[in-house]
């Protein structure tokens, strides 16, 4: 039986295990999927040596960048993004090689495209400058979209939250939350933006998917904005992960 799994810390918010377990049962596949909560990325090789049936892994917070140093090969898209969220384990006897990929960019691109069909020359406000923002940045580049990155720390983004003006909100009609703010159980938190300036011309995309409607989305909806969570993005990137593991 082939085994797949997710590495990260902590993993209480993960959807991957239920997604793949349901898929394996529905399609009668002789596979399993487990959560591997590791406190350091340096535990990865021990995990792979002690679980010789692992054929692929998903990678989540906080290891999407740290894992790169432990890989043998990296897909060119993942190199450009600077983050890996899928590992293909290629085994030969007792030895193995690790190939890194990024499917977040694909998941985000395909889920946001339908929202942009009637939005000409739209630009984006990207909330957060951590690992989760890297795939979104590359996706926006490839969509030919201008964007401004907002960070809590001066120097990590183009601007800090206190610099978000009415002009900036009016100019950037797509606003993307790549931070964990609002994720269960911290459901009462949201990025500190001036929601009162939003209109029905704005689109709010939240990478968070649990709860299904975050405070960020709720505040945007109350001003007439179109809102979307990250669940479809996760489904798309998970399906692409499966294709990579079986290629």
Tokens of 78: 């993942």
Structure tokens at 160: 């800090």
Catalytic residue among 3, 64, 119, 201: 64
Query: 141-145 — which CB contacts under 8 Å span 24+ positions?
Result: 142/105, 142/109, 143/109, 143/113, 143/116, 145/174
Q: Which two tokens stand for residue 37?
A: 């909560």
Q: Is 201 a catalytic residue?
A: no
Distance CA 105, CA 103 (A): 5
DSSP state of 66: G
Rounded to whole angstroms, what are the CA distances from 115 to 90, 127, 201, 203, 223? 38, 18, 11, 8, 17
User: Is cis: bond before 10, omega within 30 of 0?
Assistant: yes
Print the SS3 string covering 160-180: EHHHCCHHHHHHCCEEEECCC
> What are the residue numbers of the active site?
64
């Amino acid at each position: 039986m082939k085994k797949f799994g997710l590495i990260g810390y902590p993993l209480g918010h993960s959807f991957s295990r239920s997604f793949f377990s349901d898929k394996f049962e529905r399609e009668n596949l002789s596979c399993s999927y487990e959560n591997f909560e590791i406190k350091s990325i340096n535990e990865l090789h021990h995990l792979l040596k002690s679980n010789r049936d692992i054929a692929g892994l998903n990678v989540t917070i906080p290891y999407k960048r740290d894992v790169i140093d432990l890989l043998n090969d990296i897909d060119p898209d993942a190199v450009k993004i600077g983050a890996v969220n899928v590992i293909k384990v290629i085994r030969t006897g007792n030895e193995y090689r690790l190939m890194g990929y990024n499917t977040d960019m694909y998941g985000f691109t395909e889920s946001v495209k339908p929202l942009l069909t009637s939005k000409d020359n739209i630009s984006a406000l990207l909330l957060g400058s951590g690992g989760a923002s890297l795939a979104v940045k590359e996706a926006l580049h490839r969509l030919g979209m201008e964007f401004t990155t907002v960070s809590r720390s001066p120097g990590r983004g183009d601007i800090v939250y206190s610099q978000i003006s009415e002009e900036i909100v009016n100019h950037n009609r797509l606003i993307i939350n790549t931070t964990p703010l609002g994720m269960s159980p911290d459901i009462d938190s949201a990025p500190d933006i001036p929601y009162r300036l939003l209109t029905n011309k704005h689109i709010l995309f939240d990478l968070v998917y649990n709860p299904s409607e975050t405070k960020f989305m709720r505040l945007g909806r109350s001003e007439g904005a179109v809102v979307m969570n990250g669940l479809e993005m996760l489904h798309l990137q998970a399906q692409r992960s499966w294709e990579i593991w079986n290629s």
